[in-house]
Structure 1
Amino acid sequence: MVKTLLMLLCVTALSTPALAQNAATGADIAPDMPETFTVNTERFDFIRRDVMIPMRDGVKLHTVILIPKAAQNAPILLTRTPYNATRMTSKADSGTLRSILQGYDNMPDVIVDGGYIRVVQDVRGKYGSEGDYVMNRPLRGPLNPTKVDHSTDTWDTIEWLVHNIPQSNGKVGILGVSYDGYTALTALFNPHPALKVSVPMNPMVDGWMGDDWFHNGAFREEMLSYIYNQDATRKKSVIWWSNQYDNYDLFLNSVSAGQLGKERGMEQIGFFRQILAHPAYDSWWQQQALDRLVPTQRLSVPTLLVHSLWDQEDNYGDIALYYALKHKQADQPNLWLAMGPWNHGGEIKDASTLGPIRLHSDTGLYFRRTILEPFLAHYLKDDAIPLPGRVSAYRSGSDTWETRSALPEQDCTQDCATLHLTAQHQLSLNASASTSGSVSYLADPAHPVPYVQRPVITRDAPGSVWDDWLSTDQRNAASRPDVATFTSPVLTKPIALDGQPLVHLTATTTGTDGDFVVKLIDVYPDEVPEQRELGGYQLMVSSDILRGRYRKSFEHPEAIPAGKPQLYQFRLPVMNHTFRPGHRIMVQVQSSWFPLYDRNPQTYVSSIFTAPPEAYKPATITLDTAASWLKVHQASPVTP
């Protein structure tokens, strides 16, 4: 027994080092994972190429090329994005092109059914591309002394594509939503000869006047999370965080947007530092606003601007660009516009509803089949396909599509409707001015008006209503004492309004700064038999904000003289809506829209980004109803 035990101990002592050595080296265990795995694509219906395309400065940009196996003499549809080209072209575990193109900025029905070669590229500095990322990289010039920008990167990319894809017919179209719509616009500067069409959808155009970052001087505080996620790391490896579920509490407790950004370490981010340094519409913003820059060159590439009437992120720029081009190039033959009842990017997916409101059809499918597909095919293929009308506009309320030669002029001079505010909280549609009177409310920064019903969930987080907030019911706001509400009598006939409503408010405040939010609303009948939950629904059809310090000049802010009437005049976003019989028209006026926009302290400070807590004070706002109205173009009503 003892002898056996000694022998086992000896064997164990001798064998243990050998076993340990094998475990450490893995010499006797073959690895499961190959150094490089090759996907068998024999049964795929497309060829995938991942390439690094060199730019003129030596930087290489990661580009995914998807070529239908049946492609021959096929056009190219290009998208340039900061949102991960690999992810955008790898949406399904499938070997079909239609399956993997599900998701952001892809329209399988347009791309696959049209037989296009699909190309998606990471912009410089993002994901697989080399170089440095700059948010909305300015064009070469005063703000960009380098020899490269998005326009040169697009030119160099197209030059490579037309010489390295033998299945192509040498014609390229560029399209995209939001930031990708912005890059579709920058491609119009000194365009490559092979670029035959551009489709900017919901593009970022002017970040201060009314797109992502500000609206008429009020900072869009909810976009802090986007800046953090997008600009902190190359591959979005750092994500916005919060210890509070309700953004209303988060932003209120942090006092100012500048302070919250500092708490998140955002001063490390160059774009955030630029926002803090440029709260007013100075040359830094003006010199990169595309509605100012695009019209400086003759528009030589056929361009279809696509606008969403309920765009929660970029509802300013494409319409501003449309008017700028029409004013400076009245005989412009290369400009088209499509407008639909969509949120941001809603036109590329099912769009049979507007928030909770059921529409009569899938308006996104209508746009793609009737407007987009013919437009692309006309310029990118050899077929003589008829073009859509110059302006294709969906009319909400009557649920119809209209074709016209142009939008109404921005300044309504004929066929105008004037909506007068009255001291009795009524909205008068009479042509004569309202009788004298006033309406007052107390605006308290400690209790700002939420832009959606609380809790306010961070954009893109589960439970967030961010995508559809512009079509949410406004009854919660109407019930607050700090929201002045003006309502018309029940309509006995349809009233069709379109264009950009002009707000003309005359008001006094006991503070020395303040904001003015104006919302034009369609109030549904108390009973809607076909959809009962819409009984009394209050649907915004056009709304925006003006920061009072910019009432005279967007570039040079000044304090508001306390107790003295001031004129606050600004345009609301474009609308195309029919108020139907049985409905009412409502206007709401308030002085906060939180935390969509940062709170105005209502005490004038040099920068609201650094306003101290003691600057935030209640103020009484008094509207002079005899000198307050909305003016908008009135069209002939269309019967649904």
Structure 2
Amino acid sequence: MSRRTNCNHIVQIALLLLACGSTLAASPVTPMTPDNFDTYEHELPSADYVRREAMVPMRDGVKLFTVVVMKKGTLKAPMLLSRTPYNASSATGRNKSQRIVDILEIMDAAFVEDGYIRVYQDIRGMHKSEGDWVLNRPLSGPLNKTGIDESTDAFDTIDWLVKNVPEANGNVGVIGSSYLGFTALMTLIDPHPALKAVIAQSPMVDGWMGDDWFHYGAFRVNSLGFPLSQGFKKGDGGGEFPLGAGDDYTRYLEAGSVADFVNLVGASDVPGIRKFLENPAYTEFWSLQAVDQWLAARPHTVPTMLVVGQWDQEDSYGAAAVYRALEPKDTNNDKLSLVIGPWRHSGFNHYGYDLGALTFTGDTAREWRIKYAKPFFDHWLRGGPNPNTPPVLTYATGINEWQTSTHWPVGTSKPIYLAADGLATFTKPEKVGNTTYMSDPAKPVPFLPRPIDMGNPMQWKPWLVQDQRFVSGRPDVADWKTAPLDEAVHIKGAPEIELFASTSGTDSDWVVKLIDVYPNDIPEDASQGAKPSMAGYELPIGIEIFRGRYHKDFAKPSALKPGKVERYSFKLPNVDHVFRPGHRIMIQVQSTLFPLYDRNPQTFVDNIMYAKKVDYQQATQKIWFGGDQASAIVLPIAD
């Protein structure tokens, strides 16, 4: 055999072994062959996407875990970035699949199918990223001397992306909801030149005034779990209160104060929880963290869309607050828009057919994504046609239709007054009077029918549209109703509360609800039996709470004087709603909304979080109406 023939023979044997794979090289399996193994590649050659992981360096040397996903063959594509505390790996690997639309969130489908590059990043200190996590890390300045914040991290991330993703066209958009809405807004502080557009959804903007942690000073008890779950082992699991099943109403009532509950579950040393306990007032600890104020102090150059659900149960405050801060800077009315849809928190990223007992005209969330969100990014990131994004886009609930406006709020202020005999009227009563009820912290008004499980998404997500008939007849809930409406009343804005009230205690909470009462003799079953009957339904249009100790100064609480009538002014969330003819408008007032909000002891103490059992006392509450003490809700009536 010649040398050449021998070489050919060797090559043929090698090719045969290669064709057989590793089967010939591996030892035969036996019944006792160990079945443990360490690797399995879920992304097969048949996958229609490319997924890359990188550790992106920040200016201080910390590296942030980043995932880049795109369809195979993508070229000269815009990048869409989300910076998250909720695990970038999970966000880009929801299902083990060979289709890109399966591994990403549903809201990503329209983008990646049309050639967008999707990027998710763990913010510093979370999951696979290096560094320390700081809850809503303050902007570099008085509260943060490090020179590092979510704005600088976003800038450095975008800079790396445009230099290291060869398939990209150099343009970056940012999108995100809730905490991701907060990180989206932070990109506007010192925007990278490649940042061309931002959509901030339900952004966390001011955690004391009306987003996650407090509402006008009243603490949201279910906030306690967030810093525990996210802070424990970088959010990788195991950070839950060891409570088991049961009624949260009973659980928190038996625990006592917020601090008593925290001690009960052994969480008094959790840094994020301590931030709540030790800072109940709107001092600089919170006020200097208000994102709308940061943005108000800077130029606005990046086209931005602000989005919120009308019944957002977590972050109803932030989007409108940022709109108020930025709108004066949008002199050409082309770089800022506000969207209010018929959704719960982050509902625009999921399915928008319904909410609780309400049914809408099709998938309103997908409609917004396809008709407005994607054309917005297409225009600014890839030079697509100008979509002429409406300055304000809202969904008019009650009549179920999208509407556009040039500004927000829309219309004329018109008070609806409280009056004697439980009547609500557009005519101001001349005679002064009051309605009295007893508020007992030992028997607080529940915010949902019991048993309550605030961790149950079926209860939590739609709670703001819960039929309020479950509190009818309670002696500690006062209500006023109009006669059946002769014509529609259309409101577009944030109803403003003007409440005149007194208490026999030295502190008090005031909960106000604006409710659409459906006719009792007209079922209005839009889904033909698929939903509970809407006959007589009491639909909340807005619910808000105000902690009385802050009636003079949010930063400096002070005791109320027993029996003295005080004026409390605050706002309900922004809405676009039509009270239809035949419906009634109801206003309810109560002093507890439990266990969502901690109980006010109704005795002034320096820090409510640490109130003692003896501090919780009954109080006689009086809601005043007529004359110079005319309690009302000022409705923004659309012209």
One-letter amino acid of the counterpart of residue 594, structure 1: F
1:269 equivalenced with 2:270 (yes/no): yes
* Cα distance change of structure 1 residues 562 and 160 upon mapping to structure 2, 3 Å threshold: same
Q: Structure 2 CA distance, aligned partners of 1:143 and 1:29?
A: 61
Secondary structure at the aligned position of 1:620 is classed as strand
One-letter amino acid of the counterpart of residue 359, structure 2: R
Contact 1:295 1:329 in 2 (8 A): no
Contact 2:300 2:329 in 1 (8 A): no
Q: Structure 1 CA distance, aligned partners of 2:30 and 2:368?
A: 62
Secondary structure at the aligned position of 2:420 is classed as coil
Q: Aligned residue for 2:353?
A: 352
Q: Structure 1 CA distance, aligned partners of 2:205 and 2:36?
A: 47
* Cα distance change of structure 1 residues 38 and 564 upon mapping to structure 2, 3 Å threshold: closer
Secondary structure at the aligned position of 1:107 is classed as helix
Q: Aligned residue for 2:301?
A: 300
Q: Aligned residue for 2:288?
A: 287
Alignment partner of 1:503 out of 486, 497, 520: 497
Superposed displacement of residue 33, structure 1: 4.7
Contact 1:206 1:290 in 2 (8 A): yes
* Cα distance change of structure 1 residues 298 and 351 upon mapping to structure 2, 3 Å threshold: same
Alignment partner of 2:415 out of 399, 413, 418: 418
Q: How does 1:176-325 map to 2 (within 5 A)?
A: 176-234=176-234, 235-243=236-244, 245-325=246-326
Alignment partner of 1:83 out of 76, 86, 106: 86
Q: Structure 1 CA distance, aligned partners of 2:390 and 2:346?
A: 21
Superposed displacement of residue 48, structure 1: 0.8
Q: Aligned residue for 1:449?
A: 445
Contact 2:308 2:319 in 1 (8 A): yes
* Cα distance change of structure 1 residues 204 and 494 upon mapping to structure 2, 3 Å threshold: same
| 1:573-624 CA-partner distances (Å, limit 9, x unpaired) | 1111110011100000000000110000000000000000000000000111
Secondary structure at the aligned position of 1:533 is classed as coil
Superposed displacement of residue 231, structure 1: 2.2
Secondary structure at the aligned position of 1:233 is classed as helix
Contact 2:517 2:538 in 1 (8 A): yes
Q: Structure 2 CA distance, aligned partners of 1:140 and 1:267?
A: 28
Q: How does 1:459-478 map to 2 (within 5 A)?
A: 459=455, 461=456, 464-478=458-472
TM-score normalised to structure 2 length: 0.91
1:611 equivalenced with 2:614 (yes/no): no
Contact 1:311 1:343 in 2 (8 A): yes
Contact 2:485 2:581 in 1 (8 A): yes
* Cα distance change of structure 1 residues 42 and 504 upon mapping to structure 2, 3 Å threshold: same
Q: Structure 2 CA distance, aligned partners of 1:497 and 1:365?
A: 25
RMSD: 1.8
One-letter amino acid of the counterpart of residue 159, structure 2: E
Gaps of 5+ in 2: 1-28, 526-531
Superposed displacement of residue 282, structure 1: 0.5
Q: Structure 2 CA distance, aligned partners of 1:65 and 1:473?
A: 44
Contact 1:88 1:101 in 2 (8 A): yes
Superposed displacement of residue 86, structure 1: 0.8
- Greater shift in the superposed pair: 531-540 or 124-133: 531-540
Q: Structure 1 CA distance, aligned partners of 2:43 and 2:104?
A: 19
Q: Aligned residue for 1:16?
A: none
Superposed displacement of residue 380, structure 1: 0.8
| 1:353-384 CA-partner distances (Å, limit 9, x unpaired) | 12111112211121111111111111011222
One-letter amino acid of the counterpart of residue 443, structure 1: S
Contact 1:370 1:388 in 2 (8 A): no
Secondary structure at the aligned position of 2:462 is classed as helix
Q: Structure 2 CA distance, aligned partners of 1:269 and 1:366?
A: 42
Q: Aligned residue for 1:100?
A: 103
Secondary structure at the aligned position of 1:312 is classed as coil
Q: Aligned residue for 1:52?
A: 55
Superposed displacement of residue 39, structure 1: 4.5
Q: Structure 2 CA distance, aligned partners of 1:422 and 1:500?
A: 22
Secondary structure at the aligned position of 1:227 is classed as helix
Q: Aligned residue for 1:493?
A: 487
Q: Structure 1 CA distance, aligned partners of 2:256 and 2:440?
A: 14
1:525 equivalenced with 2:528 (yes/no): no
Superposed displacement of residue 250, structure 1: 1.0
| 1:22-58 CA-partner distances (Å, limit 9, x unpaired) | xxxx999765455544455211010111111111111
Q: Aligned residue for 1:407?
A: 408
Contact 2:43 2:98 in 1 (8 A): no
Q: Structure 2 CA distance, aligned partners of 1:619 and 1:329?
A: 48
Q: Aligned residue for 2:148?
A: 148
1:130 equivalenced with 2:127 (yes/no): no
Q: Structure 2 CA distance, aligned partners of 1:389 and 1:349?
A: 22
Superposed displacement of residue 268, structure 1: 2.0
Superposed displacement of residue 516, structure 1: 0.3
Q: Structure 1 CA distance, aligned partners of 2:385 and 2:123?
A: 34
Q: How does 1:149-168 map to 2 (within 5 A)?
A: 149-168=149-168
* Residues matched between the structures, number: 601
Contact 2:418 2:632 in 1 (8 A): yes
Q: Aligned residue for 1:117?
A: 117
TM-score normalised to structure 1 length: 0.91
Gaps of 5+ in 1: 1-25
Q: Structure 1 CA distance, aligned partners of 2:31 and 2:497?
A: 79
* Cα distance change of structure 1 residues 530 and 516 upon mapping to structure 2, 3 Å threshold: closer
Secondary structure at the aligned position of 1:232 is classed as helix
Q: Structure 2 CA distance, aligned partners of 1:329 and 1:278?
A: 35
Contact 1:202 1:345 in 2 (8 A): yes
Q: Structure 2 CA distance, aligned partners of 1:253 and 1:529?
A: 40
Q: Structure 2 CA distance, aligned partners of 1:257 and 1:123?
A: 29
Q: Structure 1 CA distance, aligned partners of 2:466 and 2:378?
A: 37
Superposed displacement of residue 294, structure 1: 0.9
Contact 1:420 1:434 in 2 (8 A): no
Contact 1:299 1:332 in 2 (8 A): no
Q: Structure 1 CA distance, aligned partners of 2:354 and 2:440?
A: 36
Contact 1:522 1:541 in 2 (8 A): yes
One-letter amino acid of the counterpart of residue 435, structure 1: K
Contact 1:325 1:332 in 2 (8 A): no
Secondary structure at the aligned position of 2:61 is classed as coil
Q: Aligned residue for 1:592?
A: 592
* Cα distance change of structure 1 residues 573 and 188 upon mapping to structure 2, 3 Å threshold: same
Q: Structure 2 CA distance, aligned partners of 1:127 and 1:240?
A: 20
Contact 2:196 2:381 in 1 (8 A): yes
- Percent identity for Structure 1 against Structure 2: 42
One-letter amino acid of the counterpart of residue 365, structure 2: G
Superposed displacement of residue 434, structure 1: 4.8
Q: Structure 1 CA distance, aligned partners of 2:155 and 2:390?
A: 29
One-letter amino acid of the counterpart of residue 214, structure 2: F
Contact 1:353 1:359 in 2 (8 A): yes
Q: Structure 1 CA distance, aligned partners of 2:31 and 2:315?
A: 60
Superposed displacement of residue 259, structure 1: 1.6
